[in-house]
Every structure is written in C-alpha cells, then in structure tokens.
A and B are shown apart, each in its own frame.
Chain A
Amino acid sequence: MLVPHALNASHHVAGTYAGQPDNLGWWDNMVGPGKPLDTRRFFVIGVNNLGGCHGSSGPITTNPATGKPWGGDFPVVTVEDWVAAQARLADRLGIERFAAVMGGSLGAMQALQWTLSFPERVRHALVIAATPTLTAQNIAFNEVARQAIVTDPDFHDGHYYERGVLPRRGLRLARMIGHITYLSDDAMMEKFGRVLRRGRPGYDFDIDFEVESYLRYQGDKFAGYFDANTYLRITKALDYFDPAADFGGDLSAALARARANFLVISFTSDWRFAPSRSREIVRALLDNRRVVSYLELDAPHGHDAFLMEDARYMAAVRAYFENIAP
C-alpha cells in the first residue's frame, strides 16, 4: 500500500515517533492498527515527495555542483516525476505491484497518475477529494500564494538559505490564503462566527475576529516549519497536473490506459476540488468500463473533509480495504 501525501504533509502518515507522543501522522485517523486502512493487514508506505522539505532531495539539500543549497535552482517537479520517483522506490523495495495507492487532494492526483504511468503496478486506486485538473480559480489562488512568497524581500530568488534569512512573511500569507480554500464558508462560520477576540471592535488593525487569529496562527506555524521554495514547486505541480493534456483534453482517452479498480470519493462542501470534478474522473472511468465506485459524501468541512473523522467515510474505506485483503 502506498500513501502519497498532499500539499504540506510528509512521509509521516500515521503513528508517532519515540519520545514525540504529540506529533501524530497526518492521516492517523485513517491509517494504523485497526483503522480503516489497517496496518495489521497492509504494509503501508509513506513517501516524501521529491522537492519536499521533510527528508527527500529538495531545495534545502546541497547541490553537488556548487556545494551550496539548491535553493531557487532546484527544478520544478511534476506529479508524473513524483510517481516515477515512487516507482523507483518500489523497484528498490522489490515491490512489483501495489495492492492499492490511496491519496487525498494532491495525493489523489498521484494515485490517479500511478494508474496511468504504471497501469500494471496498481491493483486499486483510492482517489479522494481529487480533480483531473485545477480550474483557473484554483490556479489563481496558487498564483497569489506564490506572489506572496516571491515578492517577500527576504526571498532572494530562492537563495535565501545562504543569506541566513527566510521569506517568512510571504510563506505565512501563502498559507493563510491556502487555508481559506481548504474550509467551506459554513465550516468557517460554524468554527469562528463573528466572535470578537477582545469582546468589542478595536477600530485598529490588531486581531478583531477569531478567524483572523486562526489564520495568523496557521500562517505563523506553517512558516516555522515549511520551506518556501518547496511550497512554490508543489503549487506548480498542482497547476501543471493535466493527464488529458496529451489527449486533446479528452480525459476518457487519457484514462484508457488505467487497469486499476477505483474508489473515488468527494465531499459536497469541497469548493476547491468540487464533486463535479470527481464526477469527471468517474465519467471517464465509466467510459472505459473500469471497475469503479463513487461516493459523494454530504460533509460540511470543505476540502479538508478528506482528513476529518466521518463515520460514513471511514466505514466505506474500511469496507473497500476488507475486500482487497479479506
């Protein structure tokens, strides 16, 4: 079982490391002993994407040609590149074929790409909160995030490590923008409402509303552990993903290569990768007479729903895996 990660996550899919009981894996509610993806029955592999900042080669690592960090010179990588790298990892581990590749969001794009790049090496693909391409609006949000980073005076064309600075302000803004797109309007209203931090309006530019506090907190936290160069590249990989591009935009033709069985799941309140986008994938799979099931769950959390605890979602994934390996 391979679980590729989404935008800001890592190989740390589930569980904790010794001595770090609070540092849970990003999909710990889904993956683990007795969880829907039961690690007592499946050997689960989490990978760090190439160009990332949690262990694999990326902008922070040293460019052997210069002896300095790659920084802005690190190449822009694509979803296809990631999948190709993961396949080489599988070769090294002696894995001919995965029982399943499962991912949400950008991870789902990788799961889908696996079925196209290596059709014979994937038995099942679980494609959750996915889209076959980004919309112009999706790309627009990514571009605002990137502009926040590259216009930060500390960015230095990506060569900030050697100057001993970090484009924190840009990265923080980028994360704040991203966070808005991960939540639904309803979920935000439910979580924060119009609650005032100080009980009454301050008529200044300190934090008034709870949602401002939340976004600033998320932005600060992210800027403290994530790398701006990685963020730029990941958003580019998202923008470029388009399996139908070589087929005149015909997704059905693009997916004709796939041999896997599919479980596609979307969430009604996800406006970032809306259910209609998942239905495009399903439609293309149906055109190719693939074995596919599709769940469109009425969940309130927006795009982040794929990471949330939801009894129906968990039950369906659990049932699916029980049929893969009874």
Chain B
Amino acid sequence: MDRARRARVLDLGCGDGALLAYLWKERDAHGYGVEIDDAKVTACVKNDVNVLQMNLESGLSLFGDGSFDCVILSQTLQAVRHTEDILREMLRVGREAIVSFPNFGHWSARLQVAFGGRMPVSRSLPYEWYDTPNVHLCTISDFENLARRIGLRIRERVVLHEGATVGVLPNLRGSLAVYRMSAG
C-alpha cells in the first residue's frame, strides 16, 4: 500500500506498543500510542513504536479532528473516569473507534454477586474490589444504552469468551465485548 493510503491508527492505553508494532509490521498501518506509565512508555520506545506520554483523562487535545482512521481503546474503558468524554474525543479525532471492555454481565459475575454476595473476580476481571483500577464497570446492555444516548453508531460488535465468539445470549455468556463505532 502506498504511504498516502496507509491506515492511521491511535491506540489509547497502548501498553508496550505490541499492537501498534503488529499493525505496522503486518498491515503497514502508521500509528501512535498513548500511555501514561513510565516503564510502558520506555518499552514502546524500545519497540520502536511512536508513543506519547499523557493522561487520557485530560483529553486528546494533541490530536486534530479526523486525524486517524481508527482509534482503539482496548480494555481500558472500565478504568476511565470520564467515559462519555473519552468516547466523544475518540470519534472527534478518528473516523472510527474500536472499544473493548470486560462484560460485567457475564453469568459468572452475576452468580458471584447474586449467590456469593461478593464482588466478582475472574480471568477478565482479576482485581479485588479494593485494589481495582476499574472505576466504571459495565455490561453489554449498559454500554449500548450509553452509545445510543450520546449518539454513537455501533457498526459492528463481537462478543467473546475465552477466545471464541459468542452468538447466543452475549450479555450472559460473553466475557469480552468489542465494538467498532462511528459518530452518528
């Protein structure tokens, strides 16, 4: 693909930059990552990935409107304080957004609350309630309600459990939800 047509990707909460490195190598996609953690930022530099050290919560003011084809927020939404703002910002700077989060509506979480009477702990939600970085856990239904309310269009949804897609009763059987969205 020629340089002008390369996809431009922004990965929010990019960790060590593995996804961006993969997209660059395999898909020739040009990208930037945003990360706050010092060690992860250094890991990105080591992996030769463009990284910008900043706090997502203070917005994406470094990026101009529509400057990316795709903005990714992978399993970070639940740890973001200003959920609506970040979703809006993602679709200001990008044509499309890909958001994934652990589904709090999965049956095991429901059972742990309903019968165990305890906050759920699982593979996709590994934290105890008192030391979790997650401040805004939600279910698939919750997220779709929010998307509808703030006028985001869901283009595609994939619900997964242990790596396999879940077709039937996704909000009950899926542990990870992935959305591709656009503005309006």
Which residue of chain B has the shortest Cβ distance to A284 in the bound complex? B62
Which residue of chain B has the shortest Cβ distance to A322 in the bound complex? B46
B63 touches A (CB below 8 Å): yes
A295 CB to nearest B CB, Å: 5
Q: Which residues of A contact B42 (CB under 8 A)?
A: 312, 315-316, 319
Give the B interface residue count (CB, 8 A). Answer: 22
B23 touches A (CB below 8 Å): no
Which residue of chain B has the shortest Cβ distance to A291 in the bound complex? B50
Residues 115-143 of B at the A interface (beta carbon under 8 Å):
none
**A316 close to B41 (CB less than 8 A):** yes
Main secondary structure on chain B at its contact with chain A? mixed
Q: State the CA gap A142–B63 with chains docked (Å).
A: 33
Q: State the CA gap A292–B8 with chains docked (Å).
A: 14
Of listed B41, B49, B51, residue having the most chain A CB within 10 A: B41
Q: State the CA gap A296–B38 with chains docked (Å).
A: 9
Residues 291-326 of A at the B interface (beta carbon under 8 Å):
291-298, 312, 315-316, 319-320, 322-323
Main secondary structure on chain A at its contact with chain B? helix
> CB-CB contacts of B65-88 with A at 8 A, as 1s and 0s?
001000000000000000000000
**B53 close to A296 (CB less than 8 A):** yes
**B45 close to A320 (CB less than 8 A):** yes
**B62 close to A282 (CB less than 8 A):** yes
- Known A-B contacts A286-B67, A316-B45; the reply to A294 vs B53 at CB < 8 A is yes
> CB-CB contacts of B46-61 with A at 8 A, as 1s and 0s?
1011111110000001
Q: Show 21 residue pairs from A and B whose CB-CB distance is below 8 angstroms, ordered by the A residue.
A: A263-B45, A279-B62, A282-B62, A283-B61, A283-B62, A286-B32, A286-B64, A289-B8, A291-B50, A292-B52, A293-B49, A293-B50, A293-B52, A294-B51, A295-B45, A295-B53, A296-B54, A312-B39, A319-B45, A323-B45, A323-B48
Known A312-B38, A312-B39, A320-B45; 12 more pairs at CB < 8 Å: A279-B62, A282-B52, A286-B63, A289-B30, A291-B50, A293-B49, A294-B54, A296-B53, A315-B42, A319-B42, A322-B46, A323-B46
Chain A residues packing against B (C-beta within 8 Å): 263, 279, 282-283, 286-287, 289, 291-298, 312, 315-316, 319-320, 322-323
